[in-house]
Amino acid sequence: MISYPNAKINLGLNVVEKRPDGYHNIETVFYPVPFCDILEILPAVSDVPSFTASGLVIPGPPDQNLCLKAVDLILTAVRRPLSAVSINLHKMIPPGSGLGGGSSDAAFTLKMMNDLNGLSLSGEDLSLMAARLGSDCPFFIRNRPAFAEGRGDVLKEIEVGLHGYFLAIVIPPVHVKTAGAYGMITPGKPAVSVREAVGLPVEEWKGKLINDFEKPMVSKFPEIGEVKEKLYELGAVYASMSGSGSAVYGLFKNAVPLADQFPINYFSHISQL
């Protein structure tokens, strides 16, 4: 079985408060985008699940990959023997970019294991499992635009009018560690909430739909700000960093050429929503 775990972008991201458990409460809109990895799950020749990867380099040892952790969760949850599987992941979504690629791979693994084994686990069951793998993993179970609160795991579906826009994603060669990024934020309620801002026409998002991580990340990595400025120069209706970075996206009414606009070591992708 083959599936195509997709990325997400954050439409706004406000860090509202620090929680007693050390995490932070946020508000954001997760929006699925057609930029995908390729995930294949096959019956294994041995009794032990295996994992191989190709494409972009994935940080960390292969035996600690979230896909294998997702398989372990399924095996623990169903409490009955399942055939071992071989997982092959072709990585196209750059890791550590704020696009949720690893979380998507894990969530799609849960869904594929459910289908392959005829387990009939509900979306709610899978979402609860996904939350144990990462705060944004539950979003990829339903994979529809969602307003997210809490740690990003409290989701409510939301209508966002981006159909037909062109999405450009550009990633400079800098690595942002999420834990360190939170340490640079002073939590607080925003002047304009994410829910209120995304209800406005996209042309009015600039200056109102804010990612709290963007200002400190641009201060640390000026390349991020330079990418955002360039996207506006190219005609973006709205541009922002996604998550804690370093990916920056722009929304355009028409397709734009990206190949010659950024240094050769920058990653770029464009697709229509």
Greater confidence (211 vs 176) lies with 211
Mean pLDDT throughout 125-154?
A: 95
Query: Which ranges in the chain are annotated with CATH 3.30.230.10?
Result: 2-157
Query: Mean pLDDT of all residues in the chain?
Result: 94
Q: How far apart are CA 206 and CA 37, in angstroms?
A: 30
pLDDT tens-digit map of 204-226: 999 999 999 999 999 999 999 99
For residue 50, list its beta bridge partners: 86
Q: How far apart are the first and last CA of the chain?
A: 26
- pLDDT for residue 84: 86
Mean pLDDT throughout 153-157?
A: 94
Mean pLDDT throughout 163-184?
A: 88
pLDDT tens-digit map of 82-119: 888 999 999 999 998 999 999 999 999 999 999 999 99
Catalytic residue among 105, 136, 153, 212: 136
- pLDDT for residue 102: 96
Tokens of 241: 């960093």
The pLDDT confidence band at residue 26, using thresholds 50, 70 and 90, is very high
Q: How far apart are CA 31 and CA 210, in angstroms?
A: 15
Distances (CA, A) of 49 to 42, 67, 82, 89, 131: 10, 10, 11, 14, 22
Active site residue 136: yes
Contact predicate 247/262, CB 8 Å:
no
Query: Which ranges in the chain are annotated with CATH 3.30.70.890?
Result: 166-272
CATH class of 166-272: alpha beta
Kindly indicate whether the domain formed by 2-157 is annotated with CATH number 2.10.109.10.
no
Neighbours of 179 (CB within 10 A): 7
Report which secondary-structure segment, H or E, holds 125. helix 123-131
Distances (CA, A) of 50 to 46, 93, 117, 159: 9, 21, 17, 39
Query: Could you tell me the pTM of the whole model?
Result: 0.95
Active site residue 47: no
- pLDDT for residue 177: 77
The pLDDT confidence band at residue 81, using thresholds 50, 70 and 90, is confident
